[in-house]
Amino acid sequence: ETGVTQSPTHLIKTRGQQVTLRCSSQSGHNTVSWYQQALGQGPQFIFQYYREEENGRGNFPPRFSGLQFPNYSSELNVNALELDDSALYLCASSREGTDTQYFGPGTRLTVL
């Protein structure tokens, strides 16, 4: 069974730029959720994708957007990067209708 994978591992951007992060779900999982984890904090729910549509969003502005593809992989896009966007971005996959989330290794984003 293949686990959740994410790319890239690390990324450095400057304020105002745009970034795309990628995630492949665990085999057998059709739902992907994205979380942001700032240093010293717990992960914060950004949004979830199910059946290629957004299925719930946390308290994040519209410049955070995403996609899900037919193979259940997903992208997280962040426009107009701000310094506070510096964080570990976590992708988690699950089976539809279940709460158990399995996390990928994360992408560390640094905004300068």
Partner 1 sequence: QKEVEQNSGPLSVPEGAIASLNCTYSDRGSQSFFWYRQYSGKSPELIMSIYSNGDKEDGRFTAQLNKASQYVSLLIRDSQPSDSATYLCAVNMGTDSWGKLQFGAGTQVVVTP
Handedness of CA 92, 93, 99, 101 (dihedral sign): negative
The answer to the question of residue 41 lying near partner 1 (CB under 8 A) is yes
User: Among candidates 53, 71, 69, 70, which has minimal Cα distance to 20?
Assistant: 69
Cα–Cα distance, 97 to 52 (Å, whole number): 15
- For residues 91 and 33, the answer to whether their CB atoms sit within 8 Å is yes
Minimum CB distance to partner 1 smaller for 24 or for 33: 33
Q: How far is the CB of 16 from partner 1 (least distance, A)?
A: 27
CB of 55 to partner 1, least distance (A): 8
Among 11, 20, 22, 45, binds partner 1 (CB under 8 A): 45
Q: What is the DSSP-derived secondary structure letter of residue 9?
A: S
Q: Is 66 in the site for partner 1 (CB under 8 A)?
A: no
Q: Does 104 bind partner 1 (CB under 8 A)?
A: yes
Closest CA to 96 of 56, 53, 50: 50
Which residues of this protein are in contact with partner 1, per CB under 8 A?
Answer: 31, 33, 35, 40-45, 48, 50, 55-56, 58, 88, 90, 92, 94, 96-106
